[in-house]
Amino acid sequence: MTQIKDMKEGEGFEGFYLVKSIELRKTKAGKDYLALTIQDESGEISGNKWDAQPGELEKFAPGTVVHVEGTREVYNNRPQVNQIKVRLPEDGEPTDPKKFRVASPVDEAELRETVQQFVFKIENATWARIVRALLKKFDKEFFEFPAAKSNHHAFEGGLAYHETTMLKLAEAIAGVYPQLNASLLYAGILLHDMAKCLEFTGYENTQYTLRGNLIGHIVLIDEEIIRAAKELNIDENSEDLLLLRHVVLSHHGLLEYGSPVRPQVLEAEIVHEIDMIDAAIMMIDTAEKAVAPGQQTAKVWPLDNRQFYKPLWDKEEAGQETLF
């Protein structure tokens, strides 16, 4: 059985994988085919099943464990599987989706400890109370949900992992620039994506909820902050509350990226920049893991559809054909 990270270009493979996504499409000749993405704990890869049969779209629905045979190829610098055969597991073969999910590089206990350490560092009472209240409200989801559906940190525990990495970056930057209010950075970071817990359905077969599609996580978390402030008897017109809301509302940076307002205080700008740094590093790192040293990655569309070169840092590593 072959893990995705061990698939070699031009070689056949077989194994059990989790269907992450599947679509019924048509060729230029009008024939049906299935475009699917499969994953295991080592990564994910996409491909096409050209001989689509009636009922297979439902049979191989997202979240289903399947047995796949095929060949690993590269098309437009993007690894893919082709000439594939797909079937459901037989008696005695693996069927548990949990065994095939990509998980956070850091376990939940460590993520929880890091989050609590930074909550204790929030010195402003208004920000600390709201952060504590919302962390308590979304305790389970915050440490299980992904940070995105597909672009970055799109794995179980990805949301908390994204937040803790950003917190560490913020602490380092605040150590260089003492004019920054570190407490506002920490509070804004912990809250900025928390409504992904409302925007998404969960970490398995992640989809957008109705309110996620129609309202979005930025407005949803602002509503949660206002609700928490009322429950805690915090003045809705206080500067502290307005600053916190502003940091969260502006964290996408530009109106066309979904923020209803652009950053207008230093901490808001820094939270936005840290968010961009962490997301970009994760996207580039993920793209580079799919190619061998000395090769260009596939285009990363959230980063202006650019390709990235994976350097020949190490001769031994350069001898590897691919990572997954």
Q: What is the pLDDT of residue 313?
A: 79
Total domains present in the chain = 2
Based on the fold, state whether residues 118 and 88 are members of the same structural domain: no
Which structural domain range is residue 256 located in? 108-282
Residue 234 lies in a domain: yes
Task: Specify whether 119 is located in the same domain as 209.
Answer: yes
Query: Residues 127-150, buried b or exposed e (16+ Cβ, 10 A)?
Result: bbbbbbbbbeebeebbbbbbbbee
Judgement on whether residues 59 and 186 belong to the same structural domain of the protein: no
Does the pLDDT value for residue 322 go beyond 70? no
Model pLDDT, residue 324:
33
CATH, residue 234: 1.10.3210
Residues 243 and 116 in one domain: yes
- Inside any domain, residue 60: yes
**One domain for residues 260 and 133:** yes
Asked if 194 and 60 sit in the same domain, the reply is: no
| pLDDT tens per residue across span 198-207 | 999 887 778 8
Find the DSSP H helices in 96-203: 108-120, 125-137, 139-142, 158-176, 182-192, 196-199
Same domain, 256 and 159: yes
Residue 316: pLDDT band (50, 70, 90) is low
254-264 core/surface letters (b: 16 or more CB in 10 A; e: else): eeeeebeeebe
Residue 244, phi then psi, degrees to nearest 5: -65, -45
Q: Is residue 296 part of a domain?
A: no
Clarify whether residues 52 and 160 are in a common domain: no
